[in-house]
Amino acid sequence: MRNAFISGVGGHVPPRVVTNDDLVADYGVETSDEWIQKRTGIQSRRFAEAGVGNADLALPAAQKAIAQAGIKAADLDMIVYATLSPDHCFPGSGVLLAEKLGLCEGAGASFTPAMDIRNQCSGFVYGLGTASSMVKSGACEHVLVVGSEVHSAALDLSGRGRTVSSLFGDGAGAAVVSATDEDRGIQYWKCGADGRYAHVLAQKIWDISKRPFIPQDGDGNGIVAPEMMFANMDGRTVFRHAVERMCFAVISACTASGITGDDVDLYLFHQANMRINQYVAKQLGVPEHKLIHNIDRYGNTTAATIPLLMAEAVETGRLKPGMTVACVAFGSGFTWGSALVRW
């Protein structure tokens, strides 16, 4: 039977560390280290320097995943690129990464197709499910799934935006999903969405229903109000739905696969808020030794959180062949998803 397994993973974060105290001292954000840690568990995050785009950050992560998979970039049959902070409105960042990987020129140009998906914090799980289906169907042998974010360019780093700007950081993660006849790999995946809450966590940088879609001054320059330019969130509503949907996603995955939570060796929760993850773990009865966190060091890197966790777990030896891994995410949309992987 043809299965789809994760043959390689890679992660990359920019070198610049921004602590909670740095947000106060360097940016004048009206907050404190105590306030942020108490509510989110975040101590620091990474910010990319000016001039570094989304695909730039994704490139090292992708190269590491490809190398670990033991293939060349030209062997990829597809790129699935998840982000909420693309380099441009269009084209998508997937084609930019393909060009940076050298897939578009020279004698060995493969012109690998690139698919961009916009499912925010759930993007990587959506991408994992898409890649798994493509591989299991026989349409692809190797699919590169990327989650990459450069949030720092679009954060309201002021007292006005402190409840959101303190949450996010920059980073990228990638995984190669490959075909195998072995009894391993992505055993189950399922995603969901509830558009009734689309406004609860959103960045409405433009409204395409308006004419023009961005207000203009007399010289034709765009004018974007802060409430449209920056992300807005109803934190209490997000917390409540995140806990409910993440718990349900894990239970559904285990039930559909005929296992219990005790059979899962490692849980990779999307790193949005340490308090959410701790509450979910408590509700599910997941012991601390089965959890991995990096939100304290990186903040919420949205689509990159789960592949970054994977890459770190492999590098540190926490994730070993034969383990059963549960991945679960929840985010804007609302969207959510879970995947069970036999490593």
Q: Point out the catalytic residue in the list 142, 151, 241, 270.
A: 270
Q: Point out the catalytic residue in the list 121, 191, 254, 327.
A: 121
Pick the CATH number of 186-199+231-342 from 3.40.50.300, 3.40.47.10, 3.40.309.10, 3.80.10.10: 3.40.47.10
Q: Point out the catalytic residue in the list 20, 273, 300, 327.
A: 300
Q: What is the pLDDT of residues 94-145, one digit of tens each?
A: 999 999 999 999 988 999 999 999 999 999 999 999 999 999 999 999 999 9
- Residues 6+ positions from 93 with CB-CB distance below 8 Å: 53, 54, 55, 58, 81, 83, 86, 87, 116, 148
Q: State the pairing for strand pair 142-149/266-269.
A: unpaired
Structure tokens of 185? 């790999």
Q: What is the pLDDT of residues 62-76, one digit of tens each?
A: 999 999 999 999 999
Chain region(s) in the chain for CATH 3.40.47.10: 3-182, 186-199+231-342
Task: Give the pLDDT score at 186.
Answer: 98
Task: Give the pLDDT score at 160.
Answer: 80
CA distance 259 to 262: 8
Active site residue 199: no
Stretch 144-170: mean pLDDT? 91
Active site residue 270: yes
Does the structure show a pLDDT above 90 at 148? yes
Pick the CATH number of 3-182 from 3.40.47.10, 3.30.300.10, 3.20.20.70, 3.40.50.720: 3.40.47.10
Q: What is the pLDDT of residues 206-264, one digit of tens each?
A: 889 999 999 999 999 999 988 888 999 999 999 999 999 999 999 999 999 999 999 99
CA distance 19 to 68: 31
Q: What is the pLDDT of residues 293-302, one digit of tens each?
A: 999 999 999 9
